Structure 1
């Protein structure tokens, strides 16, 4: 049975339409019912859907295509399942508290999710497409098991282990009643990195791209197909940019710093040592790349803020941001009281 040639030979239009329809259906359900239960699940499961559909309609069941598709489906199942489990346990997602009732703002999140899913899926989408894998019409299927294939799988596996372990450790930590509220999470992988799941996710998608690129590096493809495969490097690059400068580290670091500052200096300060503990945590714990505290702590501040990506934009500055945070918290309490 021949591959399905749908809209274009790279499945770009086909996957755009599938992602658009799936995400907009999720948005309409979430908006109508005003809840967060399916938001992250819809994003993760969309990766599974694209991986399965492109493999099936591509109908070129080469070993590399099957392995790459299965790895993406495993990653998607893990992240979608965990995020659904977490939101069901917590009841809601605080990220959407300010936008859930605003149609355009809430839809904007879902549009961003469309861009994320489609862009990050590109290495596998293009690998499974007829332009790359249909050997009857210019595609290529070099022998599976090269050093590049193995490197991609190993990198993906390391990333998945880091991501899964870190998520489980933090969920267990936050579920423990004996947790010290004035102490940042610093157990397990979180003692070596402030955001290990993000680091693991980056490794996963670098691994997928490396695995998918072999038809270009080891095979014989047209110049346009090679360009498409090389261009799919936007997937891991976009993942890094998203997590480092948009919805990942920036949305976690300053709010966390603000929380611990207010514990010590806010209107209802209850933990005088919370801010000092948090600053000590920043000093000894890498923002992204896991490093032992004994190695990270003595490094020059310049190296931490450049080579190790702990950019000043992430920091809650007690002199610049502190007074405003205190006044804002007082205003919130006054409006509630």
Structure 2
């Protein structure tokens, strides 16, 4: 119970602080930076609640993932205006929809989702590890996910750095030839890895009791706030239909030739 309360308090504290900053700069999209940060704070406070090597290992994994993600989004969005996703969600830029609406739809929602997804970390702060080999399997899955995120983001940054007139209309090389959203797929892998390392390693009961956490993360980033939402704008690009016919939305597969 202590771990649950601490995790919820940490998520609400991060998102509450971010909401105050967002209101001041009148830009809701700053919440994207707080998304990864919220998990880092949750993992760290849980490690302080139960300061053993398992909790600190999980905190390290989350800190590497969440810290990199927050820094990447901060650099990418520096000087940018409101994110079109939030404009569509709220019916306008910034806080025009009203404080209650913005707080409920964005900041409270993300705090609750972060709390739910962090369930494997919470149970890890309450029980002893039963199967250490499963911990290392989880670390391996986490590493695959981080690889897809880091490499996918770097390939996208290199593509965007080229002049528009000389680059292809669609990025379809590297990991982007395997999946249309390598970064989102990587995100999902990271949390399935943390579920294995954090919950399944404690036993079948903690694992099955928290399987909703990585499943919820995968569902949201694939179908709600991530891939599907982004494709509403990406699908307007020239050559998109041909690209989408060759490359899967989410789960990777070996590249297919244009003539396949």
TM interval, short-chain normalised: 0.7 to 0.9
TM-score, structure 1 length as denominator?
0.69
Q: Structure 1 193/248 Cα, relative in aligned 2: closer, same or farther at 3 Å?
A: same
Q: Which secondary structure state, in structure 1, belongs to the residue aligned with residue 203 of structure 2?
A: helix
- The 1:180/1:125 distance shift into structure 2, 3 A limit, reads farther
> Aligned partners of 2:110 and 2:119: how far apart in 1?
14
Where in structure 2 are the equivalents of 1:311-322 lying within 5 Å? Answer: none
Residue 106 in structure 1 maps to residue 102 in structure 2: yes
Matches of 2:136 and 2:44, distance apart in 1: 22
The counterpart of 2:56, out of the listed 48, 66, 70, is: 66
* TM-aligned CA distance change 1:90 to 1:189, over 3 Å: farther
Q: Call closer, same or farther: CA 1:143–1:250 in 2, change over 3 Å.
A: closer
Higher gyration radius (CA): 1
The answer for the alignment partner of 1:160 in structure 2 is: 146
Deviation string, structure 1 residues 192-248 (Cα, Å, up to 9, x no partner) = 21111111111111111111222225xxxxxxxx4x543221111001110222111
Task: Report the secondary structure of 1:20's partner residue.
Answer: helix
Q: Specify the alignment match of 1:29 in structure 2.
A: 21
* SS of alignment partner, residue 13 of structure 1: helix
Correspondence 1:122 to 2:145: no
The answer to whether the 8 Å contact 1:36/1:87 transfers is no
**1:296-315 correspondence to structure 2 within 5 Å:** 298=260
Q: Per-residue CA shift, 1:56-86, capped at 9, x if unaligned?
A: 1223x1x322222211111111111111111
CA distance in 2, matches of 1:297, 1:13: 55
What CA distance in whole angstroms lies between the structure 2 residues aligned with 1:295 and 1:209?
A: 36
Q: Distance in 2 between matches of 1:248 and 1:143?
A: 33
Cα contact 2:196–2:207 (8 A) shared by 1: no
What displacement does 1:96 show?
Answer: 3.1
CA–CA distance in structure 1, aligned partners of residues 233 and 140 of structure 2: 34
Maintained 8 Å contact 2:247/2:256: no
Q: TM-score, normalised by structure 2?
A: 0.87
Verify the 8 A CA contact 1:19 1:118 in the aligned structure 2: yes
**In structure 1, how many angstroms separate the alpha carbons of the residues matched to 2:232 and 2:168?**
16
Equivalent residue in structure 2 for 1:184, among 170, 189, 193 = 170
In the aligned structure 1, how far is the partner of 2:258 from the partner of 2:60?
Answer: 36
CA separation in 1, counterparts of 2:184 and 2:21?
28
8 Å contact 1:286–1:296 — kept in the other structure? Answer: no
Aligned-partner Cα distance in 1 for 2:251–2:257:
12
> Which residue matches 2:219?
241
Verify the 8 A CA contact 1:193 1:289 in the aligned structure 2: yes
Does the 8 Å CA contact 1:37/1:88 hold for their aligned counterparts? no
User: For 2:37, which of 31, 34, 45 is the aligned residue?
Assistant: 45
* Alignment gaps of 5+ in structure 2: none
Q: Contact between 2:138 and 2:192, CA under 8 Å: does it hold in 1?
A: yes
Answer yes or no: is 1:288 the counterpart of 2:243.
Answer: no
1:198 aligns to what? 184
Q: 1:215 aligns with which of 202, 213, 236?
A: 202
Distance 1:49 1:155, change over 3 A: same
* DSSP 3-state at the match of 1:110: helix
Distance 1:15 1:179, change over 3 A: farther
Using CA pairs under 8 Å that are at least 6 residues apart, name the structure with larger relative contact order, 1 or 2. Answer: 2
Q: Please tell me the root mean square deviation across aligned C-alpha atoms, in Å.
A: 2.3
Report the CA distance between 1:89 and its aligned residue: 5.5
> Using a 3 Å threshold, how does the CA distance of structure 1 residues 296 and 24 change in structure 2: closer, same or farther?
farther
